[in-house]
Chain A
């Protein structure tokens, strides 16, 4: 039987596709401003939301979204005001979030350890109709933000001080990046799990960087890699009966290794082309021009 005929696999593949687009999209900006592991912290915080969802009998995806956004806002506030104690405050937030989530799951009637691990490591086979609607809405937000505001976000992630002097609302945009990362965490939660979310924000970008030379190309290629690994990983996890999150992340690492191996000969070829264009010649003594800027 073809996997596309199965309703749950249709949902799983669509969810995987959206994760493949959104996680590397926001991830490119996070890597650019050297906050590659922000998604990991937010993933920890989101677990409290999942636990709350179980305890209150609400949708864990929407509760995780709400708590994760709140966590992102707190993180940005810590970045603004608490530079000196910032690391400690972030540690409290992340591990408090994870511990709180485990505790709340335990207190609820429906939260079993099987449920817990399906959120920690992903379990696409259990993506419900309701989850999918939430994932589509959240993914649309992430795509609109990362593509529609790409020039503004590029500017603040590249050089924050310059962006402020350009008159951009840098604080608002920073907050938007954090909130978008939080939303992406909950988009990806059902597919790769909260502990592996960050991998999909970082590894496709790292792989893409091996060969891309511009920001635009890095972004596009990272999304391409993301979609490739999430969709193929999801299909593989169905056929081979292995966990989806782990399969996807291992595929991404595999692609990273392949692209890294390809990058060296590619760079050599580029360098070879420019070197061949101009050959060096040794000039007779005293043949210096002003352009050499040699002052004696």
Chain B
């Protein structure tokens, strides 16, 4: 079998003395598009942040591209879209300046050559924001800002894209644009791990869904058919110890 791009086995992590991940298994194989679902506070962001090395794992094993994450240095292969925060820098910065920092890992000593500048424009075209190149980012709406953060991750032309709620606050038309952008990434061979609240226009792209609840994986398999209306099928067989069968699965798809 092909080596997974992300291999997390029994991942354990705590934040502020509270266990947040309690033995999470997550494997993402090359070319796969995996959605990470679950209610607010179920540990999705923590799982993703531990994969990119921003939350230390206190237990379990984690490999990226076959290398133990501690020794992984090839970050140019990874594009990351953090969950959007309202915090902005204290100095104005333009869309182009912010997206350019996503290209940094591909440059030598931060020198932006022509190819790098073109990659930045291309990334902005992919998310439909190329006409806002010179605008300050704090003059953008929440959804537009989110698209800039996605462009920043795309600018490095990564092999692995990790996005934490990339669709939050993005209107339906822009979600379609982003779905198209993502399809193009998958077509050129990229692997994608997405934290989502609802599948929306991305649904046809998603190969597999992993559902977290209270820091445990409660479902790992095909994405749920209809958004929100039913409980997920087959979860009890995947993890018989996940809880009493009578308890409804809260995937967070309804919120």
Contact = CB atoms under 8 A, between A and B. Distances in A.
B250 to A, nearest CB: 24
A152 B100 CA distance: 11
Contacts of B68: none
Interface string A197-214: 000000001000100111
Nearest to B77: A167
Given A32-B90, A213-B94, A290-B172, A158 B101 contact: yes
B240 interface: no
Contacts of B97: 154, 214-216
Interface string A3-40: 00000000000000000000000001001111010000
B112 interface: yes
Interface string B100-143: 11101101001010000000000000000000001110000000
B98 interface: yes
By DSSP majority rule, is chain B's interface helix, strand, loop, or mixed? loop
Given A163-B101, A295-B172, A149 B93 contact: no
B91 A151 contact: no
Contact of A209 (B78, B92, B112): B92
A161 interface: yes
The size class of the interface chain B forms with chain A is: 35 or more
Interface centre among A36, A164, A215, A218 (most CB of B within 10 A): A215
Interface string A136-154: 0000000000000111101
Contacts of B244: none
A161 B104 contact: no
B74 to A, nearest CB: 8
Contacts of A291: 173
22 contacts: A32-B91, A151-B100, A151-B107, A151-B110, A152-B104, A154-B97, A155-B104, A158-B93, A159-B82, A159-B89, A162-B80, A162-B152, A164-B53, A164-B54, A165-B53, A165-B78, A167-B73, A209-B91, A213-B92, A213-B94, A213-B135, A290-B173
